[in-house]
Amino acid sequence: MDKDVEGANKFITGFSKLIRNTLEFSARQRISITEEIEYISTYLTLERERLVNKFTFNIFFKGDVNYSDIFIPPMILQPYVENSVRHGIRYRKDNNGVIDISIEKQNGSLFVTIEDNGVGRSEAAKYKSKNIIHYQSKGMSLTASRIEMMNKQKEGKMKVLVEDLEENDIPKGTKVTIIFPIEENG
């Protein structure tokens, strides 16, 4: 909008990469966690640019593990990350939003934690009720249905734990932990 051709080209290139990955990954049953995290990183970079640096994000791979050999269903994490941006960080009154994603293998499972310091779910619900919704997001309900369907087909079950972060009854963000049964070597 400000005749920033270089910035616009960079944004379009990132968006094109995100679309290509979305199409490619949607055709696959499993992708490596490193592929999924690269996808999430591209998404978060675009959102950070769109929201004019309202937040930062960090991704932590914990432990001495080759995460390229651990596979998960594609695009399970993205709706939770999107919620952190759209319903948590977006409503902060400053540009100090933080989204931390940590990946850790423990006890035969892969733990992926998405934690934000947004306004929290209860406060976000208040904003949501005040604003006109131009479209109804289906990401969370579709993801829950996918997880339920996959859990019916496999012995190892995926779990999603959501925790409201509070300090002295004041919302301080949201923490989502997704636990995947380990699937190694594609």
Spacing of C-alpha 16 from chain mean position? 19
Query: Which has the higher per-residue pLDDT, 59 or 6?
Result: 59
Greatest mean pLDDT range, 8-12, 21-25, 170-174: 170-174
Query: Which has the higher per-residue pLDDT, 126 or 10?
Result: 10
Residue ranges and CATH numbers for the domains of the chain are: 5-181 (3.30.565.10)
Nearest to 51 by CA among 88, 9, 101, 5: 88
Dihedral of CA atoms 149, 155, 160, 161 in degrees, nearest 10, equals: 150
Q: For residues 75 and 63, what is the distance between their CA atoms, to the nearest angstrom?
A: 23
In angstroms, how far apart are the furthest CA atoms of the chain? 54
Strand partners, 92: none
> Given this model, what pLDDT does residue 46 score?
93
Using 50, 70 and 90 to split pLDDT, how confident is the model at 182? confident
pTM score of the predicted model:
0.85
Is residue 50 scored above 80 in pLDDT? yes
Amino acid letter, residue 57: F
Is residue 1 scored above 60 in pLDDT? no
Mean pLDDT score, 137-143: 75
- What b/e sequence results for 141-175 when a residue is b if at least 16 CB atoms lie within 10 Å of its CB, and e otherwise? eebeeebeebeeeeeeebeeeeeebeeeeebebbb
